[in-house]
Each structure stands twice: as C-alpha cells, then as structure tokens.
Amino acid sequence: MAKIICIANQKGGVGKTTTAINLSTALAQLSKKTLLVDCDPQANATTGIGIDKPSVKKTLYHGLIGEVQIKDAIVPSGIKNLDVVPSRVELIGFEVEMMSDAGRELILKNFLAGLNGNYDYVVIDCPPSLSLLTLNAMAAADSILVPLQSEFYALEGLSQLMQTVKRIKQSLNPSLKITGILLTMFDKRTNLSFQVAEEAEKHFKDLVFATRIPRSVRLSEAPSFGESIFTYDAASVGAKCYMALAREVVAR
C-alpha cells in the first residue's frame, strides 16, 4: 500500500507546491515509485513539473466527478519513478458540484483506492485554504506534511491547521497523523528565522524536521522552466535539502 502524504497549510506562499514537486522528485530518485496529485485548482504543481495543461485530456477533476478511473488520469512526468495526476482550473467546480453529495469529503480517498498498490508514495499538493479539496486530501492521507514559513505570523496559522487536523481525526480519518513540520524560506542571516525555528521546536518538538529549506533564487526559478530543482540545478543547496527531507520522510 502506498503511503499518502498531503502537503497542507491554509496560508499561501509557504512553499507547499515547491515542496510537493521536489519531495516527489527526491523520493523518485530514491527509487520510490511516486505519484504526485495536484489537488489545487491553480494547478501550479502540474505546470511546475513540466506538464502542458492544454494537452492533458483527463485531470483530477474528471476523476473526482466520476468520469474516469485513476489509471486514466495518470500521466508520466518524464522523470523515472514519478507520475502525476494533473489539474486545471476546472477543478474549482468540484466544490460547487459536490456540495450536496453525502460522502463529499471521501471522494478523493475512494478515487485513490484504485491505485492497487502500484506506488510507494502518493504526494498531494493542497490548495492554500481549508476548502473541501483540502478536507478531501486530509481524509485520504495517512499523514500531513506542513510547510512552515520562517516568518512572524507562521505559528499563528499553524495552530488553526492543528485544530482542523484534530477535527478530521475525530470525524473522517482517525489514523491521520502529522509526519512533520518543515521550515521553509529559512534565512540564516536573520534572527527571525531562528526564533521561528526555536518556537516551533518548543511547541512541536520532534515533529519539526531537522532539514530546513533555505530561501533560494534557484528554487524559485525552477518551476518557471517546468522543472524540479533536481533537473534545474542538481548541485544547488535547495536540491541537497530536499533530498535530505526525502530521506527523513522515508525514515519516519
């Protein structure tokens, strides 16, 4: 059975999609058969991994509304061991169309059940909100990885997310756990980054990953070329950090 990890934080701009793309690629490089699921209507993970959205015939949307099975929505990424369930803007219609569906929070879980053990890891990139799509991702996942930007308001938003996780555990997914909190955009030159790290470790202890993702121009540039950091600049600090993160995830 695949281990399903959703990358979630209701705050935007914290590095969710960057983490989803590069963690997936790093796991694939560690010979783990990996599926990246783009669960965000903005579809940045789809374009960031190099998939041409207009050329895709079936997306996650078509799977969630029951038009296709998951095997028909998977496309190769061009990277060994890494496949993708792409997304497009029509995914935004899912929430409206499924609003009256009694089992609406479990649709993604049922969709992913069709994988039949073909993957070691499934990584889900969530929207920057606590929407029905995010709830579906949490209900389907074994664990949540939370990117935490190294800035002042980050911990405040994290407490809200933890309350949501608690409610999901009580109502939809009792086995859900937090695989870890990842400090992103970490700047060693500022005291603030170290203060956020210290506070996170004080409150969440061993849940905080030892790996910290630095603020990096190369990491920011890679998606605009439709590449992960490993194909864009494999020798960069960002690539080394995401590989270290992947090793931590596997170890956990």
pLDDT tens string, the chain, 252 residues long: the values are 899 999 998 888 888 999 999 999 999 999 999 999 999 999 999 999 999 998 999 999 999 999 999 999 999 999 999 999 999 999 999 988 887 788 899 999 999 999 988 899 999 999 988 889 999 999 999 999 999 987 777 777 787 888 888 889 998 899 999 999 999 988 888 887 888 888 888 888 889 999 999 999 999 999 999 999 999 999 999 999 999 999 999 998
Could you tell me the two tokens for 235? 């020798």
- Report the distance separating Cα 166 and Cα 159, nearest Å: 11
CA–CA separation, 134 vs 165, rounded Å?
11
Structure tokens belonging to residue 149: 């930007």
Residues 149 and 184: their CA atoms lie apart, in Å, by 5
Burial call 187-197: b when 16+ CB within 10 Å, e when fewer: eeeeeebeebb
Q: What is the pTM (predicted TM-score) of this model?
A: 0.93
Contact 183, 197 (CB under 8 A): yes
Domain 3-251 matching CATH 3.30.420.40: the answer reads: no
Contacts of 136 (CB under 8 A, 6+ apart): 39, 64, 104, 105, 106, 107, 108, 109
What is the reported pLDDT for 75? 96
The SS3 assignment for 206 reads: helix
Residues shown for the chain:
252
Q: Using the CB atoms, write b or e for 58-81: b if 16+ within 10 Å.
A: bbbbbbbbeebebeebbbebebeb
Q: Which amino acid is residue 20, in one-letter code?
A: A
pLDDT of residue 228: 96
Domain boundary assignment for the chain: 3-251
CA dihedral 172, 147, 33, 223 (to 10 degrees): 130
Q: Please tell me the distance from the alpha carbon of residue 157 to that of residue 179, in angstroms, as a whole number.
A: 18
152: DSSP letter: T
* Helices of type H across the chain: 16-29, 44-48, 60-64, 70-73, 93-97, 107-112, 132-140, 154-171, 191-204, 217-221, 229-232, 237-251
The pLDDT value recorded for residue 40 is 95
